[in-house]
Structures are given as structure tokens and as C-alpha cells.
């Protein structure tokens, strides 16, 4: 492949359905070639399970990932346990962040098989059901559509391609292969931050300084998608069910940071407005103190297990904060 691939098929390698993945990938590439013509970049990239063959293949995968226009993510329970799938997702999310203030469509998650587990927040933040892909897919999964309703599968591929061709008009920054290969995964067995031990006491955090963007280059420790996911997780939690519960939660956040910072944590207006204001204020500090308090206060009020997804998001963001 000499040119940047138009799309990159991301999936969890499994012997049982690998031929079906290839069938879907080839059919999508055929339709892309039909719609985009010979002068356009139409190639698709498919990892056929050769990562174990060595560094050279990993390099090729990273090069394709850093240059492709779309990530076609074939979701399954196994997908969320694969470090490389998590890295592929994270690299594309980072490329979308680099396109700010625009947010071009770059990740197209598709339910390859039914998913029994809760979606990671990074995935839940992305729209993964599109009405235009057909009612048959809306009530099923891609594998069953391929095997059980070939006519609906054809409609699905055509509509998906049309959507990709239209969305591809928005530019997407590239990422070099070295960065893509080393990029931390968004999920996977090695991506989750370790939970604190029950005996570890929490102490009030040092007072953050004035409210400013945390990085001089304008980059944020959270992507727009991660920020949306954090907001939605807090809104869906127990602390957002009543105003009294929210007040207790905000007071806990204030206690974990510093009393002098109370005036910088807005809690006026509708509930969603208050949550957005809190998360936004936390992300604008020179230190991750407020953001970490957002997670710790939630864990205090709902329990570590219920707050696990929020804690994972805030700890990952804190790890990307620059040194003071």
C-alpha cells in the first residue's frame, strides 16, 4: 500500500469469524472504489492477525492507523479486552482532537456481534447507531445481517459507504507512526488504572492555582469525546438523581480540593449545566487536583465499583497533565 488507506478495519482477531471479517472488509472496499472512483484513495487496511510476526508488521499497522481517514471498529466483547484495539481507538480519537475546533467524523463503531458488557465510556461517547444504516441492523448485528439477510447487508454497505464519502470531505490530521505505535490504549486489559487500596486514606488536595488552560500549546488532557463521556457518566450516576445528592457531591469535591476554591466551581442552572461547568472548570486548572477530586468524591458517594469508569477517565487525564 503506497497511499494512505481510506479506511482501517479494527477488530478482535478470532479464528471463528476471521473469514467473515475479510468478507465484510472486501465488500466495503469494493463499494468505496465504486463510489470514489479510480483517482481517489480507496484502499482499506485489514490486519489479518500478523502482529505476532514482528516489528515490521506493527510498523505497517501504525503507519496505516496514523494516516487512514476512518476507523471501522467491529465491536464485540473481545474487542474491549484487546490492547491493540484500544490503541487504534485512542489514536483516532487523538487525531480528532488535533483537528479542533472541528470534530470530523473518524470512528465508525459497528456492532459486529451482540455485546453483553457495558461499553467503555470512550466508546459510549460516540454515536454507534445510525438510522440510515437500516432497521434490520438496528435490531441485530453485522454478522447476523451478513449471514441471514444478504439484501439488507447490501443496503447497509451502500449506506455506510455513502456516509463515509460525505464525511471524508472534512480534513483529519495525520499522526506519525512512532507516536501511533506508542500511544496509550483507550481500553483493553492493560489500559485500566489500578484502583486505590481500601486502606489508603484520602487527604485534601493542594490548592490549584488560577483557572488557566493546563498546557501552553492549547492541548487538553481530555479529548472532546472523553469529556462528553465523563459528563454523561456523572449525569447517569446516583449523585445526579436529586439536588440534595448533587449538593453533597459538590461539597465533597470542594473539601478534597481547598475551601478557597469554592467560588470557582459553578453549580447554578440546570443539572446538565452544573455538571458541564464542574468538568470544564476542572480541566482548566494548572493541576489535575479538581479533576481527581471529581472522581474521588463520586467514589466516596457511590462506591469504587460504581465510579470505576469515571475514575479511569480522570486518572488517565491526570496522567497526561504537564508537570507544574
The model's pLDDT over 234-271, given as tens digits with 9 standing for 90+, comes to: 988 988 888 778 878 887 887 787 544 434 343 444 67
Q: What is the pLDDT of residue 191?
A: 45
Tens of pLDDT along 48-59?
654 444 556 778
pLDDT in the model for residue 157: 95
Which H or E element spans position 108? strand 107-111
pLDDT at residue 260, rounded to an integer:
41
Q: What is the pLDDT of residue 113?
A: 92
Position 127 scores a pLDDT of 61
Three-state SS sequence of 193-228: CCCCCCCCCCCCCCCCCCCCCCCCCCCCCCCHHHHH
The pLDDT value recorded for residue 41 is 72
Cα distance between residue 8 and residue 109, in whole Å: 12
pLDDT, residue 270, reads 63
- Picking from 34, 9, 31, the residue whose alpha carbon sits closest to that of residue 22 is 9
Angle between helices 271-283 and 224-235 (to 10 degrees): 140
First-to-last C-alpha distance (Å) of the chain? 43
- Cα separation, 137 vs 141, whole angstroms: 6
Phi and psi angles of residue 11, each rounded to the nearest 5 degrees, phi first:
-160, 160
Residues in the chain: 324
CA distance 283 to 263: 16
Distance CA 176, CA 98 (A): 13
| Contacts (Cβ under 8 Å, ≥6 apart) of 11 | 21, 73, 74, 76, 79, 85, 112
Decide if 284 contacts 212 (C-beta within 8 A).
yes
Instruction: Return the pLDDT at 241.
Output: 84
User: Model pTM greater than 0.85?
Assistant: no
Which parts of the chain have pLDDT scores under 70? 1-2, 39, 48-56, 127-136, 138, 189-220, 258-270, 322-324
* SS3 category, 10: strand
Q: How far apart are CA 112 and CA 38, in angstroms?
A: 29
Amino acid at each position: 500500500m503506497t497511499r494512505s488507506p481510506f479506511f482501517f478495519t479494527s477488530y478482535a482477531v478470532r479464528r471463528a469469524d476471521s473469514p467473515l471479517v475479510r468478507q465484510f472488509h472486501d465488500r466495503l472496499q469494493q463499494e468505496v472504489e465504486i463510489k470514489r472512483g479510480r483517482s481517489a484513495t480507496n484502499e482499506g487496511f485489514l490486519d489479518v492477525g500478523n502482529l505476532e510476526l514482528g516489528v515490521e508488521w506493527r510498523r505497517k499497522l501504525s503507519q496505516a492507523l496514523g494516516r487512514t481517514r476512518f476507523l471501522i471498529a467491529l465491536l464485540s466483547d473481545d474487542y474491549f479486552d484487546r490492547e491493540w484495539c484500544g490503541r487504534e481507538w485512542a489514536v483516532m480519537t487523538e487525531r480528532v482532537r488535533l483537528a479542533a475546533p472541528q470534530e470530523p467524523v473518524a470512528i465508525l463503531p459497528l456492532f459486529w456481534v451482540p455485546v453483553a458488557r457495558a461499553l467503555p465510556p470512550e466508546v459510549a461517547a460516540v454515536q454507534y447507531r445510525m438510522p440510515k444504516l437500516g432497521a434490520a441492523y438496528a435490531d441485530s448485528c453485522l454478522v447476523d445481517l451478513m449471514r441471514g439477510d444478504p439484501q439488507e447487508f447490501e443496503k447497509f454497505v451502500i449506506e455506510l459507504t455513502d456516509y463515509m464519502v460525505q464525511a471524508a470531505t472534512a480534513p483529519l490530521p495525520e499522526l506519525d507512526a512512532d507516536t501511533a505505535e506508542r500511544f496509550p490504549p483507550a481500553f483493553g486489559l492493560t489500559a485500566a488504572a489500578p484502583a486505590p487500596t481500601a486502606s489508603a486514606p484520602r487527604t485534601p488536595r493542594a490548592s490549584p492555582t488560577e483557572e488557566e488552560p493546563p498546557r501552553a500549546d492549547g492541548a487538553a488532557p481530555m479529548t472532546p469525546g472523553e469529556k462528553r463521556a465523563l459528563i454523561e457518566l456523572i449525569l447517569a450516576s446516583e449523585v445526579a438523581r436529586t439536588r440534595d445528592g448533587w449538593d453533597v457531591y459538590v461539597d465533597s469535591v470542594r473539601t478534597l480540593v481547598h475551601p478557597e476554591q469554592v467560588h470557582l466551581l459553578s453549580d447554578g442552572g440546570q443539572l446538565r449545566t452544573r455538571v458541564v461547568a464542574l468538568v470544564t472548570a476542572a480541566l482548566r486548572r494548572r493541576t489535575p487536583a479538581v479533576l481527581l477530586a471529581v472522581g474521588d468524591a463520586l467514589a466516596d458517594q457511590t462506591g469504587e465499583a460504581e465510579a470505576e469508569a469515571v475514575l479511569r477517565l480522570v486518572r488517565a487525564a491526570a496522567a497526561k497533565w504537564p508537570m507544574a
